[in-house]
Structure 1
Amino acid sequence: MIKVIIDGREIETEPQRTILEVAREAGIHIPTLCYHPRLIPIGSCRLCVVEVEGAERPLTACTTYVQDGMVVRTQSEELLKLRQEALKLILLNHPLDCPICDMAGECQLQNLVFELGVDRQDYSLEGERQRGPEAFASPHIRHWPDRCVLCLRCIRADHEIVGARALDLEGTGYEARVVVRAEEKCLDCGECVRVCPVGAMTERVSPVRARPWQRRGVVTTCGHCSIGCQMELQVFEGEVIKVAASEEGLNRGSLCHRGFFGFDYLNGRDRLRVPLLKSDGFVKRSTYEEAFEFLASRLKPLLAQRSEAVGALLSARLTNEEAFLLRRFMEEVLGSKRVASTAYFHVAPYRKALVEIL
């Protein structure tokens, strides 16, 4: 363990950690824009600069590792000026789309402008970037190049988290822009949308839009398969309008294209919302109590027989825990080992392809 001093506080920490990581764990705020905890830090936004005793110039907190006895200052007049200038350059020629941008109210750039008190723009560029969204590799994603602040989060997530390498940077300086280098490599997972700190990457699934303070977040388990990814459903007026990242669970905020974009079925008008029972040749609505009583009345005669007369077909959307419990119920209560899953039909094509490759 080593000891460092940040803003007058002595902090004991492990080596091989950055100033930003140590500061955040200690509850000390340092502004950032290009930093993301799951990505390799690059320090391109220059907003996390701090003063280190003995250093000739301010250093980026996200790329500078702590050393024993290091003294760090995160707030000063000089640092505020440097951060304001860096933010003005980031805002150069940035459109004032806040009233119509999907990220308004949860935009990190918007928050930084308020936090650092940038109330005027001293710089300008000749000409303007192309306004509005343009075609992207995924039909579920809108790409707004004019809103891009070149933090490179989307490219880094595509390379480091997904491993698809579909996105790349083209051009240099203020002519640089994020482009789709290999459209066929895009997995349509939405990782670029999740890590974008502004409104340069947005989803286009739901026609309904609502501000963060109008939405209610519900953390749940994705129902598309049995992996058990955690997700946060954004609910507005009783309907799911968006899926947000939930850092809880084994997926650490990442989802596949089904989990991130496939939520429209939750709002389906023809979706079953109550149990249905068939009586006298007709299907009618019932309560859960009635459905359970009916099911129990049909299963009781089988308990004495302990036969294979009954089987269970599991939905591929059950979690592994739910499937395990149902299998135990079938074997230990009904004495039947006839348990199958519709997952077979989902994975069969992949298994066939894998056999061909091997």
Structure 2
Amino acid sequence: MKNVTITINGNQYAVPSDLTVLEAARTVGIDIPTLCFLKDINEVGACRVCVVEVEGARALQASCVLPVREGMVVKTNNQRVRNARKTTVELILANHNRECTTCVRSKNCELQSVSEELGIRDIRYTGAKREGKYDNFSHSIVRDSSKCILCGRCVSACKNVQGIGILDFVNRGFETTVGPAFEVSMKDAPCIYCGQCMVVCPVGALTEKPAIDKVWDALEDPKKHVIVQSAPAVRAALGEEFGYPIGTNVTGKLASALRNLGFDKIFDTNWAADVTIMEEGTELLGRLQNGGKLPMITSCSPGWVRFIEFNYPDLLDHLSSCKSPQNMFGALAKSYYAEKNNIDPKDIFVVSVMPCTSKKSEIERPELAVEGVRDVDVSITTRELARMIKEARMEFDKLEDGTFDPFMGDYSGAGVIFGATGGVMEAAIRTVADVLTGEDLENVDYTAVRGVEGIKEATVNIAGKDIKVAVAHNTKNAAIILDKIRAGEADYHFVEIMACPGGCVNGGGQPIQPASVRNVIDIRAERAKALYSEDAALTVRKSHKNPEIKRLYDEYLGEPNSHKAHDLLHTHYYAREKYPVQD
């Protein structure tokens, strides 16, 4: 790539010719503020906060979409530019719900940050405001249009990253807003509740449905035996809420924080991930050996499950019948754990800490109950757990490293990597390979299914048999795989799909990083490293080698896919209508 010479604020620089002015400025240490810009997702020049003055141009230019050219002279911080940016942000604020002290995004709001940087202390503009719409009817997502700044990030993430497109600009001019078609609630839209709109939103217009108060109430109830499970990806991101670098593994501090919050028992969902591999791996072997429907597709991502139910209902018989680890844990907590500890299942209150907002809706699915008892009572996000820790006034960085309780808390490395794209596939192959060969294979690192490439394909030779697998993350890539299956062009045996880009480590319930971070750091890869590092450090790295899993089957379930296991750990799916009938 050839360079061009441009002048920025009086200094000459040689920069690659394929950059925008925004990118070029940042490569030489000059930051230009943005609001709508999100690299590779939303590059539309809509907010006009990034304007610069270009010699020879009468109007100010949006630097995020302005290509550099030879001899270009740019000013990024003269009075004209500063005044324009300040006016733009003031106009946004004039039509914005500014209840900042009670907003869940306070201190982590990009509009708040840029207002502070521009020195805005008062709003000169008053007048009419758009009428806001507050939609909290779904179990997962709250949409507050009074806080929306029309940046379009959520629209682009939903349409261009996830390939779903349930959000778009509605109406025109001053009445423009963002929402689903026909102004329906998020509850009635074909939303998969992945939450990718939330993690890119610069303000508090899209947030998770809060459930913290339900947890506090349960912890205060002397009649409730309250237990908590924490998903693999939580440990790789929770530290970010307390100033730790992205990708820091805080397993020990996470355990201590949960114990200090007052839960009766603290467990790790990794244990249930190991159970999932036992059930799912056995189901796959059964399909391979008995002519079952292939390829079999994983079912542990509830956003992905909703996606196929809405968009490819004719392919539902390809899904594994396994519940997700979250709900396997809940079902076993209220049966196996209850029986071993002589507790009435109705007195057990299960809280799950998940990196996922779709998990909130998953626990409400009517079929995810055993004999009328819900598998999981409350699902909170990583962000919500951080808020609880802060409410409890804990100094997270000063907590001693604790451990999870045994019995349903000991896990293998295979359970840990469930949180990264390709992790479920790799964990399954580790167990399936041992079963098919009848050996305890030493090589357990199947690196061909790792990484953040959108679709990964591999052939694994096990006991002389070629097992063809595929891994896809985000539902836009999932659609590519499903179209091949529908057309009869896929010869896979096993497919892993996760709804979120990068898998659970980048779930909609994870800590929100601003565009200034997301534009330069691949948070998916950094968080995944934490999981693979923990996996590599563990002695037991295969689910079927976990002593606690062996005990579960020896003492309670009998064998994987047994009648009892099916009653507790398996489920079914159904086709969903995309939109309700309009009058």
Using structure 2 for the length normalisation, give the TM-score.
0.42
The answer as to whether partners of 2:130 and 2:174 remain within 8 angstroms in 1 is: no
2:9 is the counterpart of 1:4: no
After superposition, the Cα gap between the structure-2 partners of 1:104 and 1:315, relative to the gap in structure 1 and judged at 3 Å, is closer
Task: Tell me what 1:202 maps to.
Answer: 207
Partners of 2:124 and 2:19 lie apart in 1 by 36
Deviations 1:116-167 (A, max 9, x none): 1112212122366237x3246x531111111111111111221111111111
Task: Tell me what 1:167 maps to.
Answer: 167
The gaps in structure 2 that reach 5 residues or longer are 183-187, 216-238, 262-300, 304-353, 360-378, 386-402, 443-461, 464-468, 470-478, 489-583
The answer as to whether partners of 2:434 and 2:440 remain within 8 angstroms in 1 is: yes
2:173 is the counterpart of 1:146: no
The alpha-carbon deviation at position 93 of structure 1 amounts to: 3.0
Amino acid at match of 2:92: I
Partners of 1:148 and 1:164 lie apart in 2 by 20
- Runs of 4+ displaced beyond 3 Å: 182-185, 212-221, 234-237, 255-259, 262-267, 272-276, 313-338, 350-358
After superposition, the Cα gap between the structure-2 partners of 1:102 and 1:11, relative to the gap in structure 1 and judged at 3 Å, is same
Amino acid at match of 2:160: E
SS of structure 2 residue aligned to 1:189: coil
Write out aligned runs for 1:257-268 (5 A): 257=303, 259-261=355-357, 262=359, 264=380
After superposition, the Cα gap between the structure-2 partners of 1:172 and 1:117, relative to the gap in structure 1 and judged at 3 Å, is same
The gaps in structure 1 that reach 5 residues or longer are 222-229, 242-254, 277-284, 293-312, 344-349
Partners of 1:204 and 1:139 lie apart in 2 by 6
Partners of 2:75 and 2:47 lie apart in 1 by 19
SS of structure 1 residue aligned to 2:100: coil
Deviations 1:203-251 (A, max 9, x none): 1254279xx9974658569xxxxxxxx9x9x97982599xxxxxxxxxx
The alpha-carbon deviation at position 52 of structure 1 amounts to: 1.2
Task: Tell me what 1:225 maps to.
Answer: none
2:415 is the counterpart of 1:273: no
The answer as to whether partners of 1:6 and 1:72 remain within 8 angstroms in 2 is: yes
Write out aligned runs for 1:102-251 (5 A): 102-126=104-128, 129-130=131-132, 133-135=134-136, 138-181=138-181, 183-207=188-212, 215=242, 238-239=257-258
The answer as to whether partners of 1:31 and 1:48 remain within 8 angstroms in 2 is: yes
Partners of 2:104 and 2:431 lie apart in 1 by 42
SS of structure 1 residue aligned to 2:107: coil
Q: Which one has more relative contact order, counting CA pairs under 8 Å at least 6 apart?
A: 2
The answer as to whether partners of 1:190 and 1:256 remain within 8 angstroms in 2 is: no
Partners of 1:352 and 1:57 lie apart in 2 by 47
Deviations 1:181-219 (A, max 9, x none): 17543222111101110010111254279xx99746585
The answer as to whether partners of 1:47 and 1:87 remain within 8 angstroms in 2 is: yes
The alpha-carbon deviation at position 321 of structure 1 amounts to: 5.0
After superposition, the Cα gap between the structure-2 partners of 1:352 and 1:115, relative to the gap in structure 1 and judged at 3 Å, is closer
Match of residue 89, structure 1, among 88, 91, 94: 91
Which of the pair has more CA radius of gyration? 1
Task: Tell me what 2:81 maps to.
Answer: 79
Amino acid at match of 2:30: I
2:65 is the counterpart of 1:63: yes
Partners of 1:117 and 1:265 lie apart in 2 by 34
Amino acid at match of 1:28: I
The alpha-carbon deviation at position 329 of structure 1 amounts to: 7.3
The answer as to whether partners of 2:240 and 2:246 remain within 8 angstroms in 1 is: no
Partners of 1:314 and 1:16 lie apart in 2 by 43
After superposition, the Cα gap between the structure-2 partners of 1:237 and 1:28, relative to the gap in structure 1 and judged at 3 Å, is farther
After superposition, the Cα gap between the structure-2 partners of 1:322 and 1:63, relative to the gap in structure 1 and judged at 3 Å, is same
The answer as to whether partners of 1:45 and 1:151 remain within 8 angstroms in 2 is: yes
The structure richer in helix per residue is: 2
Amino acid at match of 1:273: F
Task: Tell me what 1:39 maps to.
Answer: 41
Count residues with an aligned counterpart.
289
Partners of 2:32 and 2:6 lie apart in 1 by 16
Amino acid at match of 2:209: R
Partners of 1:40 and 1:218 lie apart in 2 by 25
The answer as to whether partners of 1:314 and 1:323 remain within 8 angstroms in 2 is: no
SS of structure 2 residue aligned to 1:62: helix
The alpha-carbon deviation at position 112 of structure 1 amounts to: 1.1
Task: Tell me what 1:24 maps to.
Answer: 26
The answer as to whether partners of 1:19 and 1:61 remain within 8 angstroms in 2 is: yes
After superposition, the Cα gap between the structure-2 partners of 1:164 and 1:104, relative to the gap in structure 1 and judged at 3 Å, is same
Identity, in percent, stands at 27
